[in-house]
Structures are given as C-alpha cells and as structure tokens.
Amino acid sequence: MTGLYIFIIVLDDIMALLSQFEGVLMMIGIVSGVIFIISLLLMPYLLGLIPSTYFLKNPEKQLKINKPFGLIKLILKTLIGFILLVAGIMMLVTPGQGLISILLGLFLMEFPGKRQLELKLINHHQTFKTLNWLRSKANKPPFKR
C-alpha cells in the first residue's frame, strides 16, 4: 500500500467518526459560541470590579471571615472563579478569551500563593496591556503596578 492510499483510508475513517458525532459536535459549537459572546460582554465589566490599585505591591493580606455571610460570599466568589478558570481552559481550544478568563478566575479564587502568582502574571507586559484595554471598555481607570 502506498502512503496516499493509507491517508485516504484514515481520512475516510475520520469522516465516518465525525458523521457519527455530528450532533455532539454541533452542540459543542453552539456552547462555544455562547461562551464566546458572554465572555466578550462580561470580561470588561468583571475586570472593572477590581480596584485599579489591586496590583500595587503591598504586604500579604490575611484572609479573614468575620460573619457567616462572609463565608458564603467567599464560597460563591471562589466557585465563580473556578467556573471562569475551567471555561478559560476550554476557550484555549474553542473561540473565546481563554487566557483572560483564566486570569480572572485565578483573581477571584482563594488559594495559597495566590498573591505571588497574580503579581508574576501582571508583570507580563502584554497581559497588563490587555487587561487595561479591557478595563477601558468598562470606562475604568487602568491598573497600577
């Protein structure tokens, strides 16, 4: 068998497999499009909620939970951050703002070493520039670092 013949057989197998999962692939495409549109609309707003002085170097903050409502707020914030993180990872291979969703998810979540990671990420020039561009879309002042 020649290489071309093997290629045609493999291509036929791939096409048959794709036709079997046409509905699933269609659903993935629709969900991907919806996530893309939602991310385009929400990213500037969510980034606008972060204070412009958030990335100024300051001592590590201790997480304090004084009231039951504070715990619920922390859990919801971390859950939303986790959802954004997972959606961002999915958007790395589908349409959407994957890296920005990952960053925003990390900013919302609480975990050890978070502050060092945030400062390292924000010191990347292109990331800093992109986040400030998105903040400008929400009519918010740029981040300071």
CA dist list (Å): 142 to 49, 83, 98, 130: 12, 25, 21, 10
Task: Identify which has the larger pLDDT, 100 or 83.
Answer: 83
- Which of 3-7, 51-55, 77-81 shows the lowest mean pLDDT across its residues? 3-7
Task: Identify which has the larger pLDDT, 80 or 63.
Answer: 80
In a domain, 75, yes or no: yes
The string of pLDDT tens digits covering residues 86-144 is 888 887 877 667 777 888 888 888 888 888 888 888 888 888 898 888 888 889 999 88
- The pair of structure tokens assigned to 90 is 């999915």
In contact, 88 and 99? CB cutoff 8 Å: yes
In a domain, 144, yes or no: no
| Residue-wise DSSP of 113-136 | THHHHHHHHHTSHHHHHHHHHHHH
In a domain, 142, yes or no: no
Average pLDDT, the chain: 82
In a domain, 13, yes or no: yes
Total domain count for the chain? Answer: 1
Q: Which amino acid makes up residue 115?
A: R
Q: Give residue 141's pLDDT.
A: 92
Q: How far apart are CA 1 and CA 99, in angstroms?
A: 45
In a domain, 113, yes or no: yes
Residue 19: domain span: 3-137
